[in-house]
Chain A
Amino acid sequence: MPLSVSLSIEGDTTVIELAGELDAKTAPDFHQTIEKAAGHGTGTVEIRMAGVGYMASAGLRSLVFAQQKVANHVTIKVVGAIEPVSRTIRTAGLDRSIVLSDE
């Protein structure tokens, strides 16, 4: 299943909305969008993942890339991830630097 990625700005938040499956094949699309989002310079980057039914470690690599691309004061939020996806994020310890929220 392919990945759809959309990018928008809501006030001081850059919103990346993902739907589909995030694996080694599809993660490069997410990477490109992260680069654009980092250029927006908003205080928060919100990654909406409710529509992501599957995420492999390639998705973790993308989230780490996002952390590296944004300025130190920028908050990265992952919103609405299904349980196995948020579990993968926690397994990598990324929940210490990325805010995981249900909504």
Chain B
Amino acid sequence: MTDMVELARAPAELEVPATLGALGDIASFVLRLAGRAGLGKGPAYRIRLAVDELATNIVMHGYRGGDGRITVRGRSGPGRVQISLADSAPAFDPVEGCLPPAPGVPPERRRIGGLGIHLALTSVDEFSYVRRDGRNISTLTVNAEGTDPCPPRP
């Protein structure tokens, strides 16, 4: 965990109701940390997109539109932002729900839902998931100099 030494020790925290109306607050929180870390426009966009997609998924599919809370924690260090999202919805590992674009299927017939998670996971430089004490905890990291593997080039 040497990487963590470079990040702020006390994480910033935001707790919001699991509603689409909270997405704006989550985005502001993430972009503020990205600014503090000195991330450029590209990496800041990537961490915002990834967190937004996972939070949307928690609202729409995790809690299925019902009541719930999302806790967002963030740490920033020079050129690096790490965000964790925690929820109490049923267990869901985003890596298992990731759905890369199916090459043989016309776009209009693809499932876009799983594509949001694919966008999230391909936008970050590191991703981890744990189920702990009845909570899903996803941790996403973006580096200023990180590579962006998305989209897969033909």
Residues of A within 8 A of B (CB): 1, 23-25, 54, 56-58, 60-61, 64, 67-68, 84, 87-88, 90-94, 96-97
Q: Which B residues, 56 to 97, have Cβ-Cβ distances below 8 Å to chain A?
A: 56, 59-60
Residue among A57, A67, A84, A97 making CB contact with B115, cutoff 8 Å: A57
Determine whether B146 belongs to the interface, using a CB cutoff of 8 Å to chain A.
Answer: no
Q: Known A93-B101, A94-B107; judge A84-B45 contact (CB<8 A).
A: yes
User: Is there contact, CB below 8 Å, between A25 and B23?
Assistant: yes
Question: Complex Cα distance A56/B20, Å?
Answer: 13
Q: Known A25-B23, A91-B119, A92-B115; judge A97-B56 contact (CB<8 A).
A: no
Question: Complex Cα distance A61/B107, Å?
Answer: 10
Q: Which of chain B's residues have a CB closer than 8 A to the CB of A60?
A: 112, 115
Total cross-chain contacts (CB, 8 A) = 74
Residues of B within 8 A of A (CB): 20-21, 23-24, 27, 42, 45-46, 48-49, 52-53, 56, 59-60, 101, 103, 106-108, 110, 112-113, 115-116, 118-119, 122, 150-152
Question: Complex Cα distance A67/B112, Å?
Answer: 14
Q: Which of chain B's residues have a CB closer than 8 A to the CB of A56?
A: 49, 52-53, 56, 116, 119
User: Is there contact, CB below 8 Å, between A96 and B20?
Assistant: no
